[in-house]
Amino acid sequence: MDKRIGFIGAGNMAQTIINGLIRNYTGINEKIYISNRTRAKGESLRNKFNVNLCESNIELVKNCDIIFLCVKPDIYSFVLDEIKEYVNEHQLLISVIVGITLEDMGSHFLQPKKIIRTMPNVAVTVGEGMTAVTPNDRVEEEELNLAITLLSSIGKVDVIKESLMDVATSISGCSPAFVAMFVEALADGGVLQGMPRDKAYQYAAQTLIGTAKMILENEIHPGKLKDTVTSPGGVTIEGVSVLEKRGFRGIVIEAMEACGRKIKLLKK
């Protein structure tokens, strides 16, 4: 890795990505630069990861080839206005900021810049994230591949059209909350039938991991997996029948639609 990688905003997301990079690439810490609003937080991150701390966002831009924008959506505008004169046409900007489009970001610059918009989910913190990425037309294939390589250190990465970014936000950004509710409900069901709570969470969560791996790694269709587990007149089909009667799948789809509606509303 000969590129210098900067992070503007040294919060949770920046720390997660830096952690993933350091775990995967020995010596990459020397190539990492950070800048943050409060110095104390920046210093703490510098000490934790042994990375370079810049005095300002401008100093960071002057030093880096790739710049991750890791600030909150309400201040991204201020940050882009601050750095816009210093970003050149060779540098790659990678935004993790939810809801801010390539056009929004591009509009801050007088000349077109290379920008990649990403949407990581919370599971990046354990290296099992799902990150959607979409580049603007200035980004070369090699640069996109480099961004994918970097982001792969925190989970799976997929390139999608920007028009699908909001759907990606619902299906991977919001759904960890639904999945956690499902795990909690499974565990409650176990507790109801006498299993200690900590064991019930372990059984429910591990079952989720196993099921997901069967779908992703063995490429088993979810419907087929369900058919495999439900033997005729057996136990599991009793549970499936209750879930279907109560509209389990329909409710999940409706929840996704509700997230989609809210995302559109927030954009307006």
Task: Please say whether the dihedral angle defined by the alpha carbons of residues 138, 143, 149 and 153, taken in this order, is positive or negative.
Answer: negative
Instruction: Give the residue at shortest CB distance from ligand NAP.
Output: 11
Single residue of 11, 106, 127, 260 touching ligand NAP by CB under 6 A: 11
Segment near ligand NAP (CB under 6 A), from 29-37, 142-150, 200-208, 235-243? 29-37
Among 5, 13, 80, 139, binds ligand NAP (CB under 6 A): 13
Beta-bridged to residue 118, according to DSSP, are 133
**Which of 28, 83 has the CB closer to ligand NAP?**
83
Q: Among the candidate windows 90-98, 101-109, 193-201, 260-268, which touches ligand NAP by CB under 6 A?
A: 90-98
- As a whole number of angstroms, the distance between CA 201 and CA 4 comes to 42
User: Does residue 92 interact with ligand NAP by CB under 6 A?
Assistant: no
Name the helix (H) or strand (E) containing 114: strand 114-119
| Selected range binding ligand NAP among 47-55, 93-101, 135-143, 249-257, rule: CB under 6 A | 93-101
What is the rounded CA–CA span in Å between residue 71 and residue 8?
Answer: 7
Answer yes or no whether residue 70 interacts with ligand NAP by CB under 6 A: yes
Q: Which amino acid is at 163?
A: S
Rounded to a whole number of angstroms, the minimum distance from the CB of residue 178 to ligand NAP is: 15
How near is the Cβ of 141 to ligand NAP at its closest, in Å? 25
Measured from the CB atom, the residue of 106 and 176 that comes closer to ligand NAP is 176
- Express the helix, strand and coil content of the chain in percent, nearest 5 each: 60, 15, 25
Q: Are 118 and 131 in contact (CB under 8 A)?
A: yes
Q: Is 102 in the site for ligand NAP (CB under 6 A)?
A: no
* Nearer Cβ to ligand NAP (120/135): 120
Q: Environment class of residue 156 by beta-carbon count within 10 Å: exposed (0-12), middle (13-18) or buried (19+)?
A: middle
Q: What is the DSSP string of 139-171?
A: --HHHHHHHHHHHGGGEEEEE--GGGHHHHIII
Binding residues vs ligand NAP (CB under 6 A): 8-14, 35-38, 41, 57, 70-73, 75, 79, 96-98, 120, 122
